[in-house]
């Protein structure tokens, strides 16, 4: 008992992060913009003005309108100019110009975890040299507020309308859909970027996001009143210049879904072309920048903590399996040098375990009415990767359960008043790489 209390005191004194409980709801907006940053010599894009000047204005407008999260595509050879003129706090490092980079970057007011760049498995040079540079998609879990994670996907799919292009583009979109099924199961998702796809075109495969992933297209919702344009119908091309309204369809799509804990609502779809013009009112890119305003609301009976640890292992979440009115009955941990596994059984009979079989197993059986209300996690480096080394959980009765080895980097996360831990989410392999808690109202 003495040891446990001493460790707890050390862990608490080593806390590095302060947590402010999440608001129950909020808003943010996003912008998707193909910034036409291929070298001038390869692709003039038909825009007037030189690309360095145009890119500087794009960066200034991104700062001026303070978009919450921006996905850019074709951010190749004018990248330094874009970032020099923008001021977002969180921005991805470039993967390089042509022919090294994907042209995909994110500029954000929110931090994220688990940023990953994925190359397309298929590309086609049938037209437009899509294999010239390693295009693909990116993934990140954006932290909108404490425990409010939305998985953001940026993409730039194969261009052109030759049969080879159509095949490659459909394969690209399928690749993202399959990735979502693995890495975003149970999570809120936002896909926005240059899909190079139209609902009206045969074979583009854009419908995969609604049929396979349950995503809603913000343009279909607002401009087409929920009616997806028919395949083979005339293309709803936008005019050159500033579109008068959002009735025309662009290939820059915004698709989204919520989760059991986060409801996402589209509160407005816009072409922001008029915000991105040169001093002589010419467009700066051959794509209309797309903005969508979102409102998010947390479920009244469920919450999540922040994630701690490193971006390794495989994604899991107990959220889809948490029954209504869940109550924990047994908490289980495995640990030794590091934290090997976590598990929880509920009074409903549901049981969740994650991690490996190493370490020593310990468990705590909860009394009726007793809930697990806080958890301290400590992390460190193993083989060059960050993972969780230690966990200490505390119940409403003041009882504790610990496993693993303390480090100097710890955080204590506490359930909102009246809530208790009923599950976990994060990433694991044979140990607990990354871990967060699912709280339910007790
Ligand atoms: C970025 O600059 C704009 C003005 O262009 C300002 O309104 C905004 O607050 C700045 N944002 C940050 C994160 O500094
Ligand atoms: C949208 O603008 C086009 C002109 O580009 C016009 O023909 C059409 O009627 C407008 N649609 C709506 C719904 O206002």
Q: Residue 137 pairs with which residues in a beta bridge?
A: 118, 155
Q: Which two tokens stand for residue 414?
A: 């506490």
In this structure, which ligand is nearest to the CA of 110? 1
Q: Residue 15 pairs with which residues in a beta bridge?
A: 410
User: CB of 213 within 8 A of CB of 151?
Assistant: no
User: How many domains are there within the chain?
Assistant: 2
What pLDDT score was predicted for residue 46?
65
Q: Which domain holds residue 169?
A: 25-298
For ligand 2, is residue 241 a contact (CB within 6 Å)?
A: no
Nearest alpha carbon, ligand 2 atom 14: 245
Q: Are residues 322 and 234 in the same domain?
A: no
Report residue 440 CA to chain centroid gap. Answer: 23
Give the neighbor-by-neighbor strand order of the sheet with 360-365.
351-355, 339-346, 328-335, 360-365
Query: How confident is the model over 128-140, as a mean pLDDT?
Result: 89
Question: What are 323-338's pLDDT values in tens digits?
Answer: 999 999 999 999 999 9
Q: Mutate which of 236, 247, 270 to test ligand 2's pocket (most atoms within 8 Å of Cβ)? A: 247
Question: What are 265-279's pLDDT values in tens digits?
Answer: 999 999 999 999 999
For ligand 2, is residue 237 a contact (CB within 6 Å)?
A: no
Residue ending a domain, choose from 283, 298, 313: 298
- Alpha carbons 442 and 274: distance in angstroms, whole number: 50
The widest CA-to-CA distance across the chain, in whole angstroms, is: 75
Tell me, in angstroms, the distance from the centre of ligand 2 to residue 248's CA: 8
C-alpha dihedral (182, 255, 89, 378), degrees to nearest 10: -30
In this structure, which ligand is nearest to the CA of 86? 1
What pLDDT score was predicted for residue 45?
61
Q: Is the pLDDT at 7 greater than 70, yes or no? A: no
Average pLDDT, the chain: 93
Q: Are residues 61 and 106 in the same domain?
A: yes
Residue ending a domain, choose from 252, 283, 298: 298
Tell me, in angstroms, the distance from the centre of ligand 1 to residue 60's CA: 9
Tell me, in angstroms, the distance from the centre of ligand 2 to residue 169's CA: 29
Pairing type for strands 372-382 and 385-395 reads antiparallel
**HSE of 330, CA atoms in CB hemisphere, 13 A:** 13
Pick the atom of ligand 2 nearest to 244's CA. Answer: 2
Tell me, in angstroms, the distance from the centre of ligand 1 to residue 425's CA: 34
Q: Are residues 239 and 324 in the same domain?
A: no
Q: Are residues 77 and 96 in the same domain?
A: yes
Degrees, nearest 5: CA angle 295-301-306? 70
pTM, full prediction: 0.94
Q: Are residues 12 and 63 in the same domain?
A: no
The CATH number covering residue 6 comes to 2.100.10.30
Tell me, in angstroms, the distance from the centre of ligand 1 to residue 71's CA: 18
Q: Are residues 240 and 148 in the same domain?
A: yes
Question: What are 282-308's pLDDT values in tens digits?
Answer: 999 999 999 999 999 999 999 999 999
Q: Is the pLDDT at 220 greater than 50, yes or no? A: yes
- Who's near 341: CB < 8 A, 6+ residues apart? 332, 333, 334, 335, 353, 354, 355, 356, 357, 358, 359, 361, 428, 431, 432
Nearest alpha carbon, ligand 1 atom 13: 88
Q: Are residues 10 and 37 in the same domain?
A: no
Of 109-118, 121-130, 346-355, 430-439, the least confident: 121-130
For ligand 2, is residue 325 a contact (CB within 6 Å)?
A: no
For 74: left if phi > 0, alpha if psi spans -120 to 50, otherwise beta; the answer is left
Residue ending a domain, choose from 269, 298, 327: 298
- Alpha carbons 226 and 373: distance in angstroms, whole number: 42
User: CB of 250 within 8 A of CB of 236?
Assistant: no
Q: Is the pLDDT at 11 greater than 90, yes or no? A: no
For ligand 2, is residue 247 a contact (CB within 6 Å)?
A: yes
Tell me, in angstroms, the distance from the centre of ligand 2 to residue 437's CA: 49
Nearest alpha carbon, ligand 1 atom 3: 64
User: CB of 109 within 8 A of CB of 68?
Assistant: yes
Q: Are residues 332 and 386 in the same domain?
A: yes
Instruction: Give whole-number Cα distances, 4 to 36, 249, 395, in Å.
Output: 58, 61, 14
Cis ω before 99 (30° cut-off from 0): yes
Q: Is the pLDDT at 389 greater than 80, yes or no? A: yes
Query: How confident is the model over 88-94, as a mean pLDDT?
Result: 97
Q: Are residues 157 and 261 in the same domain?
A: yes
What pLDDT score was predicted for residue 431?
97
Tell me, in angstroms, the distance from the centre of ligand 1 to residue 82's CA: 15
Q: Is the pLDDT at 35 greater than 80, yes or no? A: yes
Lining residues, ligand 1, CB within 6 Å: 63-64, 66, 87, 89
């Amino acid at each position: 008992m003495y040891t446990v209390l001493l460790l707890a005191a050390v862990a608490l004194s080593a806390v590095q992060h302060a947590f402010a409980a999440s608001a129950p709801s909020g808003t943010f907006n996003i912008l998707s913009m193909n910034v036409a940053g291929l070298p001038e010599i390869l692709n003039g894009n038909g825009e007037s003005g030189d690309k360095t000047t145009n890119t500087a204005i794009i960066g200034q407008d991104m700062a001026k309108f303070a978009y919450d999260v921006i996905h850019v595509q074709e951010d190749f050879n004018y990248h330094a100019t874009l970032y020099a003129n923008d001021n977002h706090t969180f921005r991805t490092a470039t993967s390089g110009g042509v022919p090294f980079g994907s042209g995909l970057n994110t500029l954000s007011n929110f931090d994220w975890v688990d940023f990953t760049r994925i190359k397309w498995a298929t590309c086609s040079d049938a037209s437009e040299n899509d294999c010239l540079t390693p295009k693909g998609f990116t993934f990140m879990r954006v932290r909108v507020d404490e425990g409010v994670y939305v998985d953001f996907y940026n993409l730039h799919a194969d261009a052109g309308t030759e049969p080879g292009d159509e095949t490659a583009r459909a394969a690209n979109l399928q690749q993202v859909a399959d990735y979502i099924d693995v890495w975003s199961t149970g999570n809120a998702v936002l896909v926005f970027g240059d899909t190079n796809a139209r609902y009206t075109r045969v074979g583009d495969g854009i419908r995969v996001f609604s049929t396979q992933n349950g995503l809603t297209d913000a343009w279909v919702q607002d401009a087409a009143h929920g009616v997806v344009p028919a395949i083979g119908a005339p293309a709803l091309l936008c005019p050159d210049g500033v579109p008068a309204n959002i009735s025309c369809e662009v290939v820059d799509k915004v698709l989204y879904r919520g989760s059991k804990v986060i409801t996402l609502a589209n509160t407005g779809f816009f072409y922001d072309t008029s915000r991105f013009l040169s001093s002589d009112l010419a467009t700066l890119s051959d794509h209309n920048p797309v903005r969508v305003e979102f409102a998010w609301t947390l479920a009244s009976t469920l919450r999540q903590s922040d994630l701690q640890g490193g971006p390794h292992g495989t994604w899991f979440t107990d959220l889809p399996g948490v029954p209504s009115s869940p109550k924990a009955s047994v908490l289980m941990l495995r640990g030794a040098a590091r934290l090997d596994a976590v598990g929880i059984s509920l009074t409903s009979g549901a049981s969740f375990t994650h991690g490996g079989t190493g370490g020593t197993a310990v468990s705590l059986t909860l009394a009726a009415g007793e809930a697990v209300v806080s958890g301290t996690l400590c992390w460190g480096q193993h083989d060059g990767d960050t993972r969780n080394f230690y966990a200490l959980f505390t119940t409403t009765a003041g009882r504790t359960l610990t496993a693993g080895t303390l480090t100097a980097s710890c955080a204590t996360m506490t359930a909102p008043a009246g809530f208790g831990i009923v599950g976990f989410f994060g990433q694991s392999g044979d140990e607990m790489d990354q871990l967060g808690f699912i709280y339910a109202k007790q």
